[in-house]
A and B are shown apart, each in its own frame.
Chain A
Amino acid sequence: MPALILTNLSKSYGNMPAVSDVSLTAEYGELVCLLGPSGCGKTTLLRLIAGLEFPDSGTIAFDGVDLRGVAPHMRGFGLMFQDLALFPHMDVYRNVGFGLRMQGVAAAEIRRRADELLELVDLAGFGDRKVHELSGGERQRVALARSLAPEPKLLMLDEPLGSLDRVLRESLQSEVRSILKEVGVMAIHVTHDREEAYAIADTIVMMDRGSLVQAGSPEALYKDPANELVARSLGVRNIVSGTLARADGPAQVVCALGTLAVGWPVPSEVPVGGDVLALIDERTVSVIPARDAITSAGSTLAGTITAREFRGGESALHVSVGDGTIVCLVVSRDAGTAAQVGDEVSVVVPPEAVRLLARGGP
């Protein structure tokens, strides 16, 4: 039985629906990530759970108790704000210990717990610092320690790493996950950054315009996105519209790139000749010199390299094929020696790289 159960939650501001009919569950120890473009209602959902806003309809239950009418400070939840909201008039110790102080814990015990938590977030010895003396990453850790100190039953994080630089963000992402896992707390984490979602979440919940679109493990969502938005949000770059040419045997799709064999099951509602979106996995395709072209390895498309993005270990090649462009992710070493912008190449698209979505999505 899941601990947190949201049933048909709706909330609007004036005529603007912010959250509409969202149902969701989460279990103890689960790290849930709300992912979606800004303005999709994920922060509002968080504030509803926290009790800082009241739903127009629907219920929020935790451990079987309906939370209607329970004040935020009585819920035993934690919330880490995007701007962190560290108390500027308190030092690090008093910030971290604030929640325990509110519980009436003895001063010595608060001190012990604060030290413990500062150790956990790798800030041992920072207790006497003033908030304004801390760097961005240090503030983030203090805010995390402060949120964890009262041992919330549910910790919510609202874009907690949003304001940090990339390197710091990436190192903190895995750190946040391991800290949350070590503590074993249930967490709901809001972000618009898929890397952050991948790095932290057990379960990703995609939201769009106030509604829940799809929920599942990061792998499941990436492999089988429910619609174009989910696919794009999770990083699929090759999305081409086309028509279904053959539905069984080896299925085929005709699109701007040419005719492609489809290795994944075709959505049952799409008839032959119906409109579809073809999603092509940029990692599964391969690029070979034009003269080496072999037809048997799947669909082979002739094209010209128009751009190359160097990304360290990998490079993304943009190849102009037919009337469209396909992005292929290749190992940089090969790309560096073999492929240059302007080269004529063949792109091999194996059937397992191609998946179809009904146009408009379910």
Chain B
Amino acid sequence: MDTSGEGGIMYSKGSNLKDWAFLVPQESMNTWAVILDDPNPIHLDANAAKQVGLGDKTINQGPANIAYILNMIEENFPNSRILKMNNKMTDSVLEGDLVTVSGQISEIKAEGDQFIASCSIQLTVGEDKIAVLSEIDVLFERSQ
């Protein structure tokens, strides 16, 4: 099924979504530690990450990684609504990493006057390290 959403963006089963990228700075991790009230030192102190054998850099908070994926969905489906999102964290994102969120539409279903797009998304670090795999259902309006 093909359909168009807000701004006339065309959606069809199997089509690739527009990539979304972000360079992860330490300042963001400091902000997220406060937002989450999370004292885990592996997000704030590289030595703490090293001590537990997780590498030489601080590790980004999991919820922040999921927020990047949600941002990518918002960019691809403006003013849509997330219905469901299943996430599997498969690797770490470190301070200074360039993350890219990419994916495709695996299914589109009509739901009354609206549509639900099921998307398979991955958050990748660098060339090929997959850090998060997500399956997302997005509800959006057909463009007028």
Chain B binds chain A: no
